[in-house]
Amino acid sequence: MNDSNPNSACGPLHGLKILDLGTMIAGPVACTLLADFGAEVIKVEEPQAGDPMRHIGPFDEGESLWWNVEARNKKSLTLDLKQPAGRALLLQLVAQADGVVENFRPGAMARLGLAYEDLKQVNPRIVLLSISGFGQTGPYAERAGYDRVAQAFGGLLHISGFPDRPPVRPGVSIADYQTALFGALSLMMAFHYRDAHGGIGQHIDLALYESVYRFTDVLTTAYDRLGLIRQREGNQGRAAAPGDHFSTRDGRYIVLTISHDAMFRKLCEAMGKPELANSDRYATHEMRWRNLDEINRVVADWILSHDVDALSRTLDAFGLAYSLALSIDAICADPHYAARDNIQTVEHPSLGSLRMQGVGPKFSATPAGALRAAPRLGEHNRDVLQRLGVDEATLALLARDGVISLVPAAGDA
């Protein structure tokens, strides 16, 4: 398969070929993370409607903006995998690919005749990443699983929010995005084992809830050894004493975290209260944690007496860790985001310039290339299938039978 991805010459994953069979967030975003760094990612979509994310707002001129963020740098190929011709074409692609990503319910790939055993028959080096809510095994494997379900089952929701109110979900689909990160990492580990150590392809089983559970810090061990069951504590956290989301005089919120005694001494100097650092109530982190409400009130009163600009100058002068709780308009205007190229622009064929999150992390020797717009449904059918040897007449027959959908090539009338 010749790699015609314009970005492929840029980034450390040049030459890697991934088939993205997933829908929505976790599986597809794992592939987007690889595409951002030069992998050729072919997104396989249902011929009529495509990925459900194409139909989730917000919309601009009928285009899903969410889709345009998470499908960037990919190619779109439409295939009806319920038809034998569609499966046959997919298997031809598998024979030339490095990895396949899917996030159907367990058993769905097998029912299509596309289980790992089927894929490795045509390509023993293939790596299949299967993402599901509860994993491929276990008593709950057949359950449907979505982001918020995974947050609940993984233990995050129980500890999120305030003690006198119901659990609160984070403002983004954190389980999906954490799983996408795990997915991209697991693929790269499998490729490394295969290519650097003479290994073989393999099947990776990744559950949404496990990605949440892994990042619940010391919950399990504290329960196991001490019988502690953490409850919702609002904005308090044992690593921050003092620490909270404090209101400033001009109505902003500032996050201040003091995680060790040396930093607390600097804060006391900044507040003009150096004696607090030697108090028998606040001298150590553990003392401050036991008196957290009290010391937080002291800090809150000080912060409330300052505007943001004056407060920032003082905190910077003493080298303290803080940030305003930034809204997206503030992020888009922030000079640090601009200096680090965190917000990049994609040129969309109909919408024009779209600003979105840039590519990270940053590589010194193999930086990522310019972002490309998310594809139209089936935009790359001819490109991908003709490289398999499918001629124009066969393409027309496949379109007639609903195996693929054909759209004009970009720039065609």
Residues tagged active-site:
176
Bridge partners of 354? Answer: 346
In the numeric block, which tokens belong to residue 260? 């060790």
- Give the Cα separation of 150 and 134 in Å (integer): 8
Strands (E), 349-392: 352-357
- Give the Cα separation of 94 and 14 in Å (integer): 18
Non-local CB neighbours of 147 within 8 Å, separated by 6+ positions: 25, 173, 174, 175, 176, 208
- Give the Cα separation of 31 and 21 in Å (integer): 10
CB atoms within 10 A of CB 294: 12
Non-local CB neighbours of 241 within 8 Å, separated by 6+ positions: 258, 259, 285, 288, 289, 292, 295
Burial 340-376 (b: 16+ CB within 10 A, else e): eeeeeebebeeeeebeeebbeeeeeeeebbebbbbbb
Dihedral sign from CA coordinates of 262, 264, 268, 274: negative
- Give the Cα separation of 322 and 254 in Å (integer): 7
Angle value at C-alpha 146, between 28 and 229, nearest 5 degrees: 125
DSSP 3-state of 66: helix
